[in-house]
Amino acid sequence: MQLNILDCTLRDGGYYTNWDFSNSLVQNYIRTMADLPIDYIEIGYRNPTQSAYQGEFYYLPNSSLMSLYKIVNGGPKLAIMLDAKNCNPGDVPNLLNDCRDVVKLVRMAVNPAKIEDGIALAKAVKECGFDVALNLMYLSKAGDDYSFLSRFEDLENVVDYLYLVDSYGACYPQQVREAVKFAVDNLPQKIGFHGHDNISLAFANALAAIEAGVDIIDATVLGMGRGAGNLRTELIIAYFAQVFDKPIDLSSLADLLETFQTMKNHYGWGSELPYIVSGLADLPQKDVMEWLGKKRYSTSTVVQTLQGKQQNIFPNQTYPKLSDAAKNLDLQNFKTCVIVGGGSTAAEHSGAISEFVNKQQGLLIHSSLKNAEVYSKAKIPQILCLPGREAEKLKRLAAEDLHNQFKGYVLSSSPRMTSVVPRELSEKTFEVEPITQIRDNSQIALMQQDSPLGIGLSIAQALNIESVYLSGFDGYPGGNEVEQELAMEVQDILEYFTTSNINIRVRSLTPTRYDLQQHSVYALLRN
Amino acid sequence: MQLNILDCTLRDGGYYTNWDFSNSLVQNYIRTMADLPIDYIEIGYRNPTQSAYQGEFYYLPNSSLMSLYKIVNGGPKLAIMLDAKNCNPGDVPNLLNDCRDVVKLVRMAVNPAKIEDGIALAKAVKECGFDVALNLMYLSKAGDDYSFLSRFEDLENVVDYLYLVDSYGACYPQQVREAVKFAVDNLPQKIGFHGHDNISLAFANALAAIEAGVDIIDATVLGMGRGAGNLRTELIIAYFAQVFDKPIDLSSLADLLETFQTMKNHYGWGSELPYIVSGLADLPQKDVMEWLGKKRYSTSTVVQTLQGKQQNIFPNQTYPKLSDAAKNLDLQNFKTCVIVGGGSTAAEHSGAISEFVNKQQGLLIHSSLKNAEVYSKAKIPQILCLPGREAEKLKRLAAEDLHNQFKGYVLSSSPRMTSVVPRELSEKTFEVEPITQIRDNSQIALMQQDSPLGIGLSIAQALNIESVYLSGFDGYPGGNEVEQELAMEVQDILEYFTTSNINIRVRSLTPTRYDLQQHSVYALLRN
């Protein structure tokens, strides 16, 4: 059997853990891999320094590599990946020179539209003395003409492995079989396949690739990897054991899987409905992963948004603009507002905040329902924002109570990721333009314009308010990945808003961890 | 598009819930199905009365059927299944006559070896006025000669749908394609396919069946079903929506999936490593489901056992027979023993039990480590049984303490499902013959002989003990499914042992829910 297996659990799984893994997990993982018929372990990335925090397996300092190399102890060879987006050929010697004795194979994921950049990078890596794998992305977009692969015919001294990558998990076995066969028949390189499991075809596609003569296949433990995840190592290894009648002891792999199952329950990769829809529609899974990861949207909201983007069959409802309705609602004369976030300080200091709003003749904007109840008796004008799932929650509350507390409900303009407003409240529901622009065809902005703070600030903008105070935007001490992401989003929005609205001042009335001008509501009450 | 979809979530998922589902789940499920392009909902079984408890969807009394029929409200047609193992043609009118207005399709799963019995049953069902589906099991065992299907050529007035069933989840797309094509080309019936997802090929196999012209496909929500589970409804429906560009709103299905995910986290169906191994090896998944369900074995133990059965490459270690070693161990003269189970009564009354053993000059047999600690200071002869994972737990205890407390460690003879005994204890480890025989090639007995009580009783047998007392076999009040199963196992073993060893008396010293002669240790101490 000539087929090689490359396990890239830490590299691809790092998308969920931000490339940090516990020591005990890594040791357990590497030892288990070393006992199985695995040929390469891809342990992570080497990357130039980035501005955000990324963990050990994103940078792989030499000390980390050396300790992993010792555990492998002559078993599988080590591979690492370069992110072609972040690297120029000139960076390569600096990135790779110190790991030549330890790492055998360097891989890079390359967009077929930028194939020449990828080849230039591959040459630089080859010159450093590594075996080179070039992973060509987006196989599902390739159609059935594979002649673009001919570019690699004369590059056998540059590229050792040419991988076909089903980046969107959208390929069917027939296409994989044909593409791999074309590559095997026409190219001097060893041919690889890297699949994803969005529509539960990772194994069927791997079998098709094997049938077509593929030389190397990628897999990860329990399929851990970006979005829906990958071909599962346990499946391809058990298949080997069965088909080639090899006596492979799977029991330590079984133990390792129990550890990974715990992580899977936490992070939730796998072929979930939103990933199925993105795979079937041949859409990127990056955004889906981000939306689901934030736990702000229900699965059904994500599915609706994907379906809407894809088929336009579920258009968002539109509502009157808040700026047009301001006069009728008696909202046109506010100079000051307080935007209330979900943090505990907005509840702890609610008495002082209500008094402050009253004194300033200001407007209280609830960025979500989280702290609204605390202010239900306050005799000050209030508005409620409806980001994410908030509209759904309204169904559980009495319309009368809501009418008594709020002058109106506000959501961002269409397209938005949001659930439907209950009919009895829709007459008092309005839209605001998002403060964030939609970036080049990406749906990330969709998510940001649906942020509680984003809508709150949009209201301030729409009503020409000059002084914006925040409370309950406390930030997170330490914080898990989801919280850190949310915190980054809040900070991004604050920065974007303050630089693009220099005549509006934004300050916090209560303690906050954000980089933001801080006041004390009590000092302001004394004035 | 002529392809029909039958959703059999409640029928196949009932293997996990013992065919009980909450009202709210059922209503939510039926309404969601009714909004999707689902043609049939198979809602459960009709069965003759059995001696054990099975829930609503195993019997489907007419009141249940009527209320479901109202919810469906003219949407998908209702189907039910008969278990051909439990039914004779003569039972059929009695089983089915009252549901003719409500149920459209009656299915039966038939072993190809008993094809004539199945056809006789089908005739009886047809005579009652139903559409009939006959599900032929074990497709993976059929090889590539499908001529046995010709039996159905002249039965178009008896069988409306002929299903090919991949019972073991062991088929590859190629076989499914060929078998379905043969059936479509040669038989007058509509052809169906029912797959399982052991090796993650349920969807790939469904696509192969569709390519070959299949008329109807089975699926279940989140794949819920026996063992590894089935083709997922959400996947085939989303595929429909995409491929046929049908505007299907998936959002209520997305909400339903969240409910089923909670059940999946609890019951744990899916393509786990043990199911992968059983699928690849073409072995039944029924036993794997039972072993995993009991949570007594680690995944790695189940995998080892499957691999052992399959390839004989991991033979169990053998140890000396306890009966041979009895003399050396000074164990040959006991007339009385107390077997200690894991229940709390054995700890609560440990003082009295120790005193009783001492007075009787008896032997204390710990059926597991659970209550052993409580007796660590008791100056009475003690033995420890090592069922399931117990041997693994010993690694965490000091060998010296163990040696001081126990005269020996006992496990059942090979083949057994058990982990390896630590080397420093293996000199004092012995085997006993199981009290349960291995039933016709089934592995169920393997599991029973690994039961704590089973090994304890085997020791009593091996040492010619006349009076066996139990403590800590308390039973479970109410109890979840796993506990109920364990309780049934204990009761089975007790019955088997007492009927086959009439000269040995078995009584409980402390309170128990089992059907077992009860004494009080305090009454016996008074004598």
Q: pLDDT digits over A28-82, tens only?
A: 999 999 999 999 999 999 998 877 777 899 999 888 999 999 999 889 999 999 9
Sequence-separated (6 or more) residues with CB below 8 Å from residue A499 = none
Considering only CA atoms, which of A195, A265, A262, A258 is closest in space to residue A226?
A195
The pLDDT value recorded for residue A274 is 83
Angle, CA A188 vertex, CA A184 and CA A192 arms, to 5°: 50
A76 shares its domain with A154: yes
**Average pLDDT along chain A:** 87
B310-348 tens-digit pLDDT: 544 344 678 899 999 998 888 989 999 999 999 999 998
A129-142 tens-digit pLDDT: 999 999 999 999 88
Angle, CA B44 vertex, CA B39 and CA B46 arms, to 5°: 120
- Confidence tier at B492 by pLDDT (50, 70, 90): confident
Q: Is the pTM higher than 0.90?
A: no
**Average pLDDT along chain B:** 87
Higher pLDDT: B298 or A218? It is: A218
Peptide bond into B415 cis (omega under 30): yes
- Taking contacts as CB-CB distances below 8 angstroms, the residues of chain A near B232 are 200, 271
- What is the rounded CA–CA span in Å between residue A430 and residue A312? 22
- What is the rounded CA–CA span in Å between residue A308 and residue A288? 14
Mean pLDDT to the nearest integer, B339-361: 93
B215 shares its domain with B133: yes
Q: Give the residue numbers spanning the domain of A394.
A: 322-526
A424 shares its domain with A396: yes
B143 shares its domain with B256: yes
Residue A45: strand pairing partners: A81
- Taking contacts as CB-CB distances below 8 angstroms, the residues of chain B near A232 are 200, 271
Peptide bond into A511 cis (omega under 30): no
pLDDT tops 70 at residue A431: yes
- Confidence tier at B410 by pLDDT (50, 70, 90): very high
Instruction: Residue A140: give its domain's CATH number.
Output: 3.20.20.70
The pLDDT value recorded for residue A389 is 72
B328 shares its domain with B257: no
Instruction: Residue A396: give its domain's CATH number.
Output: 3.40.50
B311 in contact with A at a CB cutoff of 8 Å? yes
pLDDT tops 70 at residue B466: yes
- What is the rounded CA–CA span in Å between residue B403 and residue B415? 26
φ, ψ for residue B329 (rounded to 5)? -85, 0
Mean pLDDT to the nearest integer, B484-507: 84
A189 shares its domain with A203: yes
Considering only CA atoms, which of B419, B415, B140, B408 is closest in space to residue B296?
B419
B376-397 tens-digit pLDDT: 999 999 999 998 778 877 877 8
Q: Which of B253, B285, B313 is the last residue of a domain?
A: B313
pLDDT tops 50 at residue A95: yes
Mean pLDDT to the nearest integer, B45-53: 83
B182-229 tens-digit pLDDT: 999 999 999 999 999 999 999 999 999 999 999 999 999 999 999 899
Q: Do B235 and A311 touch (CB under 8 A)?
A: no
Higher pLDDT: B124 or B48? It is: B124
The pLDDT value recorded for residue A245 is 67
The pLDDT value recorded for residue A395 is 76
In this structure, how many other beta carbons lie within 10 angstroms of the beta carbon of residue B368? 24
Q: Total domain count for chain B?
A: 3
B258-267 tens-digit pLDDT: 899 999 988 8
Sequence-separated (6 or more) residues with CB below 8 Å from residue B404 = B376
B484 shares its domain with B355: yes
Locus of tokens 């819930």: B17
Considering only CA atoms, which of A52, A98, A59, A114 is closest in space to residue A81?
A59
pLDDT tops 60 at residue A376: yes
Which DSSP state fits B115? H
Radius of gyration of chain B (CA): 27
Q: Please tell me the distance in Å from B248's CA to the nearest CA on chain A.
A: 9
Which one of A247, A258, A313 has the shortest CB-CB distance to B313? A247
B170 shares its domain with B189: yes
A256 shares its domain with A281: no
Locus of tokens 């130039």: A48
Locus of tokens 């120029």: A88
List the structure tokens of B280: 């690849």
Higher pLDDT: B357 or A395? It is: B357
Minimum Cα–Cα distance from B260: chain A residue: A272
Sequence-separated (6 or more) residues with CB below 8 Å from residue B82 = B45, B46, B47, B92, B95, B106, B107, B108, B121, B125
- Confidence tier at A447 by pLDDT (50, 70, 90): low
**Three-state DSSP class for A40?**
strand
A277-331 tens-digit pLDDT: 888 877 777 777 777 766 666 677 777 677 665 544 344 678 899 999 998 888 9
Considering only CA atoms, which of B271, B265, B188, B189 is closest in space to residue B229?
B271
B304 in contact with A at a CB cutoff of 8 Å? yes
Q: Which of B204, B236, B268 is the last residue of a domain?
A: B268
Which one of A200, A257, A271 has the shortest CB-CB distance to B299? A257
Q: Please tell me the distance in Å from B14's CA to the nearest CA on chain A.
A: 22
Query: DSSP per residue over B162-201, as a string?
Result: EEEE-TTS---HHHHHHHHHHHHHH-SSEEEEE-B-TTS-
φ, ψ for residue A226 (rounded to 5)? -40, 135
- Taking contacts as CB-CB distances below 8 angstroms, the residues of chain B near A252 are 300
Q: Which of A313, A345, A373 is the last residue of a domain?
A: A313
Q: Do A201 and B199 touch (CB under 8 A)?
A: no
- Suggest the residue from B239, B240, B251, B267 to mutate for an interface test with chain A (most A CBs closer than 10 A): B251
Identity of residue B349? H
- Confidence tier at B245 by pLDDT (50, 70, 90): low
Residue B186 exposure: Cα atoms within 13 Å on the Cβ side: 14
Minimum Cα–Cα distance from A238: chain B residue: B277
Minimum Cα–Cα distance from A259: chain B residue: B299
Beta strands per DSSP E along B352-449: 363-366, 382-385, 408-412, 429-432
Which one of B250, B311, B314 has the shortest CB-CB distance to A273? B250
A275 in contact with B at a CB cutoff of 8 Å? no
Q: Would you tell me which residues 212-251 of chain B have a C-beta closer than 8 angstroms to some C-beta of chain A?
A: 232, 234-235, 238-239, 241-243, 245, 247, 249-251
B228 shares its domain with B307: no
Q: Do A276 and B238 touch (CB under 8 A)?
A: yes
List the structure tokens of B488: 């049934």
Minimum Cα–Cα distance from A243: chain B residue: B280
Minimum Cα–Cα distance from B171: chain A residue: A204
B258 in contact with A at a CB cutoff of 8 Å? yes
Which one of A238, A251, A273 has the shortest CB-CB distance to B304? A251
List the structure tokens of A126: 């080859």
- Give the end-to-end CA distance of chain B in Å, rounded to a whole number: 82
Locus of tokens 């009080």: B520
List the structure tokens of A42: 């891809």
- What is the rounded CA–CA span in Å between residue B338 and residue B353? 8
Three-state SS string over B313-367 comes to: CCCCCCCCEHHHHCCCCCCCCCCEEEEECCCCHHHHCHHHHHHHHHHHCCEEEEC
Sequence-separated (6 or more) residues with CB below 8 Å from residue A415 = A305, A308, A309, A316, A446
- Suggest the residue from A210, A258, A269, A276 to mutate for an interface test with chain B (most B CBs closer than 10 A): A276
B259 shares its domain with B280: no
- Confidence tier at A436 by pLDDT (50, 70, 90): low
Locus of tokens 């126990």: B406
B487 shares its domain with B354: yes
A292 in contact with B at a CB cutoff of 8 Å? no
| Range in A329-333, A507-511, B169-173, B307-311 the model is least confident about | B307-311
The pLDDT value recorded for residue B294 is 64
- What is the rounded CA–CA span in Å between residue A360 and residue A334? 9
Out of A211-220, A262-271, A387-396, B514-523, the most confident range is A211-220
Q: Please tell me the distance in Å from A304's CA to the nearest CA on chain B.
A: 6
The pLDDT value recorded for residue B311 is 46
Q: Do A250 and B273 touch (CB under 8 A)?
A: yes
Q: Do A280 and B238 touch (CB under 8 A)?
A: yes
Residue A298: strand pairing partners: none
Mean pLDDT to the nearest integer, A162-171: 95
List the structure tokens of A399: 């319309």
Q: Do B203 and A207 touch (CB under 8 A)?
A: no
Higher pLDDT: A237 or A400? It is: A237
The complex's ipTM works out to 0.72
